[in-house]
């Protein structure tokens, strides 16, 4: 989470830093990201960066949270309630459309291909996931995987969504 100093910046400066982070993390994995490129793009000093974020991981996690919130990409929310397999499939389709039509597409591809496996999902996410029953958990995992595969291999999206629907039919009964 950025420091309170970051949140006291005017909106333009915050957006400038966000855009620099987005550019860096869209083109470089978290392991290969560099503060030097971020500060050059943002036009800020290295010390200033560390006034706002304790480290690159914190900056990345903040940006990921912002993006997930803006695009409403919370797989746990997909499984709240008792939807039909078609409703889940349509929700996944709409999420993929939102991602593909956003400025965050490259960031999210990099996230799914490289960064997702090295990030800790945090206590809050683990707690929410632990509250899901086995059917909800299975639906969430399948939907998440369908989103991931569709972004990584967009030419297979129709087939991925079809396979998701078939799997959900078996889980939900359709």
Q: What is the model's pLDDT at position 173?
A: 79
Q: Is the pLDDT of residue 75 over 60?
A: no
What's the length of the chain? 174
Q: What integer best gives the mean pLDDT of the chain?
A: 89
- Tens digit of each residue's pLDDT (9 = 90 or more) over 126-169: 677 777 888 888 888 899 899 999 999 999 999 999 999 999 99
Q: What is the model's pLDDT at position 20?
A: 98
In 3D, which of 137, 138, 140, 143 has the Cα closest to residue 160? 143
pLDDT bucket at 33, cuts 50 / 70 / 90: very high
Q: Is the pLDDT of residue 77 over 90?
A: no
Count of other CB atoms within 10 angstroms of residue 143: 22
Give the three-state DSSP class for 82: coil
Give the three-state DSSP class for 19: helix
Q: What is the pTM of this model?
A: 0.85
pLDDT bucket at 81, cuts 50 / 70 / 90: low
Q: What is the model's pLDDT at position 79?
A: 59
| Tokens standing for residue 43 | 């036009």
In 3D, which of 102, 27, 113 has the Cα closest to residue 70? 102
């Amino acid at each position: 989470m950025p420091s309170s100093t970051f949140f006291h910046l005017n909106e333009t400066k915050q957006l400038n830093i966000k855009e620099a982070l987005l550019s860096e993390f869209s083109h470089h994995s978290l392991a290969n990201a560099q503060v030097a490129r971020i500060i050059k793009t943002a036009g800020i000093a290295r010390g200033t960066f560390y006034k706002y974020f304790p480290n690159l991981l914190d900056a990345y996690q903040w940006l990921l949270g912002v993006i997930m919130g803006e695009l409403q990409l919370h797989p746990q929310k997909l499984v709240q309630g008792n939807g039909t397999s078609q409703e889940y499939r349509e929700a996944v389709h709409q999420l993929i459309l939102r991602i593909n039509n956003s400025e965050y597409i490259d960031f999210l591809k990099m996230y799914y291909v490289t960064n997702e496996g090295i990030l800790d999902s945090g206590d809050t996410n683990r707690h929410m996931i632990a509250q899901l029953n086995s059917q909800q958990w299975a639906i969430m995992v399948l939907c998440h995987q369908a989103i991931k595969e569709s972004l990584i291999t967009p030419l297979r999206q129709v087939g991925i969504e079809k396979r998701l629907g078939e799997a959900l039919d078996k889980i939900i009964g359709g």
